[in-house]
Chain A
């Protein structure tokens, strides 16, 4: 199986292209930093009166990390549409390369970009006053990477399947908004009315955010931690399956 070799070829090409455009990586970084500096202080003041458990940074940063993983991944599909249009994807499909590697290599690049952004985010949060155990940071970064991988797979798959920015944009927004609103990323769900809480229970990302918050508080033994990690892994598997199927379908 040349899967790993081919994935590496696709990954290194994509990584090189991303590094040629550091501006985009920088703009991607800007968003979490803006949240941190413009929304964080607000939260500091309402943390005590709201339903959050723990220090405001410990509550807020896990949410931002999950958001970075989701949104960092969700929008990569636009890039693969551009690559489709310039003929790169088709050119790679005519080589003996493993079909799955063509999407996996690109997703790995996205994971690296998102992980770097997550490290910068955590670093900035530390400067602002975040204090958490080192193990929590590692689990946090792993979760962001997993979410980034899952959403990059999904977004790339939708991009390749639709080949149209006009189709991808509303799809991504429709997917992103309920995920965000029902995840308790910005505000804790336990201050929500009952029906909203029940609705949010069906959102896997709420549990992932909860898992990361537990870890940031130092509650490594909390069963929610395992639930969150398993959910994130399941999402990656789902995304990889979608991606692989979509790529194979291109030559059907």
Chain B
């Protein structure tokens, strides 16, 4: 049986919108595979087709082309089968502000045929595991932003889905709530074996959470791999040397350029910049060489590439520019 091996298997998934008589290709034929128990980050700037792809996989939007098997059911032939097995946590929220937390959870559970006693037990356990033990009787509107987002996750998990989709889970949260949320998302997979598919436009989020990252730009997947693999695609670690004067900088550039795998150093007044495959290994060597040549470096910086650099390398644009 196809689909048994992987949790999501999409081939040529496509979505075309009609706007003012013109056809706009939001997603131009995406192939992707997500394995059981994986946390996959779906990364891309706003308008890249992230949310459209996510909504197609969640049965919220019909693909205009291609096919997919999600959680063992065919997306087009058996959307109800998909819905039974997936959880979806929207960035728009999931609860009415005037509704009581416990009642929202119980009502939602009923759609999956879960009896009231089980729903209550499970809901309270989930709330507790997300540090929301005492909110059962409160109204959803009285919760803080971070609490409300965690409640959305509880709602999305009440039927123990094998696969959960998180759409921009930490947007609008303060740094501490974000870090907390990440811990909880990891726990989902580690303790419950849930497969997690999350979209984000935050590099650090994709980096710290995902086993594997898919980068989408302009409706197609432009790169795929573990965070470490993707970073390797950028030309290594960046070394920045600051010298006392310009002659020193010129000599230092000459020495540094001879390092194994180094690219051509760029000299900018007292500062020399270059890339090497492994900065940690190259640095002691470089400093020793400089000392032997009698050159005194007054500052050294090694920067590992970020996913932002990856994105820049792949698309020629920075992710951060797009957030403005």
Contacts and interface: CB of A to CB of B under 8 A. Distances in A.
A77 to B, nearest CB: 16
Contacts of B111: 6, 9, 92, 95-97
Contacts, number: 74
Interface string B51-66: 0000000111110000
Given A13-B107, A251-B60, A252-B62, A86 B80 contact: no
A25 to B, nearest CB: 14
A46 interface: no
A16 B95 contact: no
B107 A86 contact: no
A17 B112 contact: no
B108 A94 contact: no
B59 A91 contact: no
A83 interface: yes
Contacts of B61: 251-252
Given A87-B92, A87-B94, A87-B95, A94 B86 contact: yes
Contacts of A9: 107, 110-111
Nearest to B80: A96
Given A6-B111, A251-B61, A91 B90 contact: yes
Contacts of B80: 96
B288 interface: no
Q: How large is the interface on B (under 10, 10 to 19, 20 to 34, 35 or more residues)?
A: 20 to 34
Most buried by A among B79, B83, B110: B110
Given A21-B98, A96-B80, A90 B92 contact: yes
Contact of A94 (B59, B95, B99, B110): B59
Contacts of A252: 61-62
Given A13-B103, A92-B111, A83 B90 contact: no
B88 interface: yes
Count class of interface residues, chain A = 20 to 34
Interface in B38-92: 58-62, 79-80, 83-84, 86, 88, 90, 92
B94 A88 contact: yes
A119 interface: no
A79 to B, nearest CB: 10
B92 to A, nearest CB: 4
A12 interface: yes
Given A12-B107, A21-B98, A87-B94, A94 B112 contact: no
A94 B83 contact: yes
Contact of A86 (B58, B79, B95): B95
B5 interface: no
A20 B84 contact: no
B99 A91 contact: no
A58 to B, nearest CB: 40
Given A96-B80, A251-B60, A91 B86 contact: no
What are the 9 tightest A-B residue pairs by CB atom distance, in nearest-first order?
A87-B93, A87-B92, A95-B111, A91-B94, A94-B88, A13-B107, A96-B83, A9-B110, A87-B94
Given A5-B110, A97-B111, 4 more contacts: A87-B95, A90-B90, A93-B60, A251-B79
Interface of A: 5-6, 9, 12-13, 16-17, 20-21, 82-83, 85-88, 90-97, 250-252
